[in-house]
Structure 1
Amino acid sequence: MKAIFYSTKSVEKSLMLHANNQRHDLVFTTRTLSTETTSFAEGADAVVVFTNDNVTAPVIHKLAALGIRYIATRSVGIDHIDRVTAEKYEIKIANIPAYSPQAIAEHAAALALALSRHLVQASQQCQHFNFSLNNLIGFNFYGKTVGLIGLGHIGKAAIPIFKGLGCKIIGYDILPGQNLPDIEMVDLDALYKNADVISLHIPLNEQTEHIIDRTSIEKMKTGVMIINTARGSLIKTTDVLDALRTGKIGYLGLDVYENEHGLFFEDHEADQVRDPLLSELMRMPNVLITPHQAFLTTEALEEIAHQTINTLNSWEN
């Protein structure tokens, strides 16, 4: 099978080639998939994409015209793929059901701990030989209540991490009746009301888009910490900014951003015009943003490569 990989990073290429073991004809490009780059897929059977690729109806229409029969994404989420259009053209879609969920869960905890102890601010001060302790007072996680929204592979991996810090864990999931140790299952309103820290681990769909907005924020504790390592559009950024300004939200940790498409995964340091919402967020000392890197561990990348090649194997067979 011939497959073209879009949005390929250098480290991914070597791992994919190793996992492939010369079985499939693999072509790699650093370019993202769009209507302008569909021509790269000419002669291929499958395209392999990532979350920043534009797999919309016009793109799929062009891919179908080239004879593409398969689309695989190197991610758990498939919200960037127009599944209805793919089904119309009988193009099969596959994702990575799970890959090192500990990588995402650990990054969520890292964001939370760094925020709680002002580690970025402290490091910046020390680099200027400013060793003052002013404005660096943090809080203990021990005894705090952590609310996990979404208890799939990643949410479940987060439970022992926060439990190990001495936290009480409460959780909400759309699937009722989960019997999990070390966690109390609650409804969303109870989670909003009681959690000191809220961490999002759910997919993006019509039901979850802007699950964190003005209405849900009003139900939360004043000074709540919100962590999002899932999908940017789970949070309505303008509402969160308002809550940060008033102090209703005390801390915000993001590895994803509502308007990250075309921005994250690339170097935009030289841009003259920058996203105004993101710029305002990053000026706030109680906000920590990372560039969609929660998945970026050696173990996770190896598992993504292995499962992607297995998907191609299955389709070929």
Structure 2
Amino acid sequence: MKAVAYSIKPFEKEFLAKANQKKHDITLISNSLSLETAIYAEGKDAVIVFTNDDVSAPVIERLAGFGIKYITTRSSSVDQINVAAADKFGIKLANVPYYSPQAVAELTMALAFALNRHIVKAEEQSKHFDFRNDELIGFNFYGKTVGLVGLGKSGLAVANIFNGMGCVVIGYDPAFPENTNNIREVDLDTLFASADIISLHLPLTPGTKHIINKAALEKMKHGVMLINTSRGELINTKDVVVALDNGKIGYLGIDVYEYEKGLFFEDHKNDIDKDPILSRLMDHPNVLVTPHQAYLTREALQEIANQTIKNLDQWQNNTCVGNACTGIKKCQDHEVNQTQLKKAHVN
């Protein structure tokens, strides 16, 4: 099968090559997918995309005009893809249903630890031989209540770590997993009101967008720690800035950002005009931002590459079936949860 992979970073090449074993003719380009760059798909069978590529209806229509029959994304999320447009033009979709939930869970914990113990500030001071402890006081995680919003594979992996630290773990998910003895099921309002630490592990859907907003924040404890390693648009960033200003949020760790498209994964240090909202966030000493790197372990990268090639294999062999090989089915499954989320969504 002939394919073009967009938004390829240099470090991805070895993992894709190892997974592909020269089975498919894949052109790797660093450009992101857009109306302009869709031309690189001409003469190909499939397109391989990533989270910040433009896979909107106009782009899909152009890809269809070039004869594209398949689109696979190197991510579990499919919110960047206009699924209806793909269906309209008969383009089959695939994703990576999951990959190394431990990678996401471990970065979640890294953000929480670094924020709590002021690691960034301590390291910066130590570089200048300033070894004062005055502003480095943290808290024990032991005995604290952790609220997990979303209990898929990464959410459950985070729960295991917090449980091991002696935390009380509560969780909310419209499809709460069975046989989960280490997480107490609560409704969303109870989670917001009870948790000392809140961590988000949800896909982005119409029902989950801005699930963290002004009304939700008002229900949380003063000084709450909020961590997001899922999707940036789960958080209404402008509301969060206000909550940081008034102390409602005591610690914020985000690996994703509401307006990250065209910003994350690229070097913008020489930009004259920096993103104003992100700049305001990072002006707060109790905020830690990482550039969408939760997936960035060797194990996760190989799993992503393996599933991407497996999707191409299955399409080529006409064996692509089930959740592992259809974004349309994945999105339809989310619709069931969206209705329940909207009922519990804080407006």
TM-score greater than 0.5 by the shorter chain: yes
**Is 1:96 equivalent to 2:80 in the alignment?**
no
Kept in 1: contact 2:210–2:235 (CA 8 A): yes
| Structure-2 separation of matches of 1:47 and 1:288 | 34
**Structure 2 counterpart of 1:84, one-letter code:** A
CA–CA distance in 2 between the matches of 1:274 and 1:117?
28
1:248 and 1:19 map into 2 onto residues whose CA distance is 46
The code of the aligned residue for 2:32 comes to: T
The letter of the residue matching 1:51 is: T
Specify the code of the residue in structure 2 equivalent to 1:31: N
1:202 lines up with 2:215 in the alignment: no
Moved over 6 A (4+): none
- 1:80: Cα distance to partner? 0.4
Structure 2 CA distance for aligned equivalents of residues 62 and 163 of structure 1: 49
**Conservation of the 8 A alpha-carbon contact between 2:151 and 2:176:** no
Contact 2:151 2:177 in 1 (8 A): no
Aligned residues: 317
Partner of residue 84, structure 1: 84
Q: Which residue of 2 aligns with 1:226?
A: 226
Q: Which runs of 5+ in 2 are unaligned?
A: 318-347
**Structure 1 residue identity aligned to 2:86:** A
Is the CA contact 2:46–2:68 (under 8 Å) kept in the aligned structure 1? yes
Give the CA RMSD over aligned residues: 0.7
Q: Aligned equivalents of 1:201 and 1:176: distance in 2?
A: 13
How far apart in 1 are the matches of 2:257 and 2:177? 31
**Match of 2:268?**
268
Q: Tell me which residue corresponds to 1:248.
A: 248
- What is the alpha-carbon distance in structure 1 between the residues aligned to residue 195 and residue 185 of structure 2? 12
Amino acid at match of 2:30: T
Other structure's SS at 1:48 match: strand
Tell me what 2:238 maps to: 238
State the match for 1:291 in structure 2: 291
Q: Is the 8 A contact 2:115 2:286 kept in 1?
A: yes
When normalised by structure 1's length, the TM-score is 0.99
In structure 1, the residue matched to 2:2 is: 2
Q: Which residue of 1 aligns with 2:54?
A: 54
Alignment of 1:189 with 2:189, yes or no, is yes
- 1:100-146: CA deviation from partner (whole Å, max 9, x where unpaired): 01100110011001000000011111111111111111111011000
Give the Cα separation in 1 of the matches to 2:202 and 2:301: 21
* Deviation for aligned residue 1:178: 2.9
Does the 8 Å contact 2:255/2:293 carry over to 1?
yes
SS in 1 for 2:252: strand
Structure 1 residues 276-305: Cα deviation after superposition (integer angstroms, max 9, x where no partner)? 110011111100000000000000000001
Which piece of structure 1 moves more, 168-177 or 4-13?
168-177
Pairing 1:45–2:45 present = yes
Paired position in structure 2 for 1:108: 108
Could you give the per-residue CA deviations for residues 202-240 of structure 1, whole angstroms, max 9, x where no partner exists? 000110000000000011101000000000000000100
Deviation of residue 5 (structure 1)? 0.5
Partner-residue secondary structure (3-state), 1:147: strand
Equivalence for 1:161: 161
Match of 2:143 in 1: 143
Distance 1:177 1:153 in 2: 10
Unaligned ranges ≥5, structure 1:
none
- The residue identity in structure 2 corresponding to 1:116 is N
Identity of aligned residues (%): 58
The Cα of 1:177 is off from its aligned counterpart by 6.1
* d(CA) in 1 for partners of 2:126, 2:139: 20
Q: Which residue of 1 aligns with 2:121?
A: 121
The aligned amino acid for 1:287 is V
Aligned to 1:30: 30
SS at match of 1:161: helix
Residue 20 of structure 2: aligned partner: 20
Question: How far is 1:160 from its partner?
Answer: 1.1
Q: 2:57 & 2:13 partners in 1: Cα distance?
A: 27
Distance 2:62 2:298 in 1: 34
Is contact 2:147–2:171 with CA below 8 Å preserved after alignment?
A: yes
| Distance (whole Å) between structure 2 residues aligned to residue 176 and residue 227 of structure 1 | 20
Q: Distance between the aligned counterparts of 2:191 and 2:308, measured in 1? A: 36
Deviation sequence 1:169-210 (CA, Å, 0-9, x none) = 000001146330211011001100100000000000110000
TM-score by length of structure 2 reads 0.90
| Corresponding letter in the other structure for 1:101 | P
| CA apart distance, 1:268 | 0.3
